Amino acid sequence: MFQHVEAFAGDAIVALNEAFHRDTRPHKVNLSIGIYCDEQGQVPAQHAVCEAEQYLAETRQPKPYLPMEGSTSFRNAMQELLFGAGHEVLAQGRVATVQTVGSSGALKAGAEFICQWFPSSAVWLSDPTWDNHHSLFESAGLSVHSYPYYGADGGLRFDAMLETLRALPRHSVVLLHACCHNPTGVDLTPAQWQLLIPVLQQKALIPFLDLAYQGFGDGLEEDAYAVRALAQSGMCFLLANTLSKSMGVYAERCGALSVVCADAAQAERVLGQLKSTVRQSYFSPPAHGSRVVARVLEDPQLRASWECDLTAMRERIRSLRHQLHAALTRRSPERDFGYLLTQRGMFSYTNFTVQQVRSLRETYAIYLVNSGRMCISGLRADNVERVADAMAAVSVG
Ligand code: PLP
Ligand code: TYF
CATH of the domain at 31: 3.90.1150.10
Q: How much of the chain exceeds pLDDT 90, in percent?
A: 98
Ligand 1 pocket check for 345: Cβ under 6 Å: no
Co-location of 112 and 205 in the same domain: yes
Ligand 1 pocket check for 255: Cβ under 6 Å: yes
Q: Is pLDDT at 144 greater than 70 in this prediction?
A: yes
Q: Which atom of ligand 1 is nearest to the CA of 210?
A: 1
Co-location of 347 and 280 in the same domain: no
How far, in Å, is the centroid of ligand 2 from the Cα of 265?
A: 36
pLDDT score for 397: 58
Co-location of 85 and 151 in the same domain: yes
Considering the domain boundaries, does residue 191 fall inside one? yes
Name all residues whose Cβ lies below 6 A of ligand 2: 11, 13-14, 33-34, 130, 132, 182
Task: Look at the chain and report how many structural domains it folds into.
Answer: 2
Which of 263, 298, 333 is the last residue in one of the domains?
Answer: 298
Radius of gyration of the chain, Cα coordinates, nearest whole angstrom: 21
What 3-state DSSP class applies to 154?
Answer: coil
Q: What is the overall mean pLDDT for the chain?
A: 97
Q: Which strands make up the sheet holding 206-211, listed edge to edge?
A: 95-101, 254-260, 237-242, 206-211, 173-177, 123-127, 144-148
Co-location of 181 and 243 in the same domain: yes
Q: How much of the chain exceeds pLDDT 70, in percent?
A: 100
pLDDT score for 153: 87
Co-location of 162 and 94 in the same domain: yes
How far, in Å, is the centroid of ligand 2 from the Cα of 132?
A: 7
Co-location of 193 and 288 in the same domain: yes
Catalytic residue from among 124, 130, 193, 306:
130
Question: What is the average pLDDT across 319-337?
Answer: 96
How far is residue 161's CA from residue 225's CA, in Å, rounded to a whole number? 19
Q: Which atom of ligand 2 is nearest to the CA of 131?
A: 6
Considering the domain boundaries, does residue 304 fall inside one? no
Considering the domain boundaries, does residue 53 fall inside one? no
pLDDT score for 284: 97
Ligand 1 pocket check for 289: Cβ under 6 Å: no
Co-location of 253 and 353 in the same domain: no
How far is residue 12's CA from residue 376's CA, in Å, rounded to a whole number? 18
Co-location of 152 and 28 in the same domain: no
pLDDT score for 34: 96
* 348 within 8 A of 10, measured Cβ to Cβ: no
Considering the domain boundaries, does residue 52 fall inside one? no
Q: Look at residues 56, 54, 91 and name the one whose alpha carbon lies nearest to residue 76.
A: 91
Which of 270, 298, 326 is the last residue in one of the domains?
Answer: 298
Q: Is pLDDT at 171 greater than 90 in this prediction?
A: yes
Q: Which atom of ligand 1 is nearest to the CA of 245?
A: 15
Burial class (CB in 10 A: 0-12, 13-18, 19+), 56: middle
Per the structure, the complete domain to which residue 211 belongs is given by 63-298
How far, in Å, is the centroid of ligand 1 from the Cα of 244?
A: 8
pLDDT tens-digit map of 13-27 = 999 999 999 999 999
How far is residue 174's CA from residue 210's CA, in Å, rounded to a whole number? 11
Question: What is the average pLDDT across 9-16?
Answer: 94
Q: Is pLDDT at 330 greater than 70 in this prediction?
A: yes
Considering the domain boundaries, does residue 308 fall inside one? no
Ligand 1 pocket check for 383: Cβ under 6 Å: no
The pTM (predicted TM-score) of the whole model is: 0.97
pLDDT score for 152: 87
pLDDT tens-digit map of 80-118 = 999 999 999 999 999 999 999 999 999 999 999 999 999
Co-location of 181 and 285 in the same domain: yes
Residue identifier of the C-alpha nearest atom 2 of ligand 2: 34
pLDDT score for 55: 97
Considering the domain boundaries, does residue 244 fall inside one? yes
Co-location of 123 and 213 in the same domain: yes
How far, in Å, is the centroid of ligand 1 from the Cα of 104?
A: 6
pLDDT score for 12: 93
How far, in Å, is the centroid of ligand 2 from the Cα of 396?
A: 30
Burial class (CB in 10 A: 0-12, 13-18, 19+), 11: middle
Considering the domain boundaries, does residue 311 fall inside one? no
pLDDT tens-digit map of 331-378 = 999 999 999 999 999 999 999 999 999 999 999 999 999 999 999 999
Co-location of 232 and 346 in the same domain: no
Which of 298, 330, 364 is the last residue in one of the domains?
Answer: 298
Question: What is the average pLDDT across 175-202?
Answer: 98
Co-location of 172 and 38 in the same domain: no
pLDDT tens-digit map of 121-130 = 999 999 999 9
pLDDT tens-digit map of 236-289 = 999 999 999 999 999 999 999 999 999 999 999 999 999 999 999 999 999 999
Considering the domain boundaries, does residue 99 fall inside one? yes
Q: Is 130 a catalytic residue?
A: yes
How far, in Å, is the centroid of ligand 1 from the Cα of 248?
A: 12
Catalytic residue from among 187, 193, 245, 275:
245
Ligand 1 pocket check for 277: Cβ under 6 Å: no
CATH number at residue 216: 3.40.640.10
Residue identifier of the C-alpha nearest atom 8 of ligand 1: 34
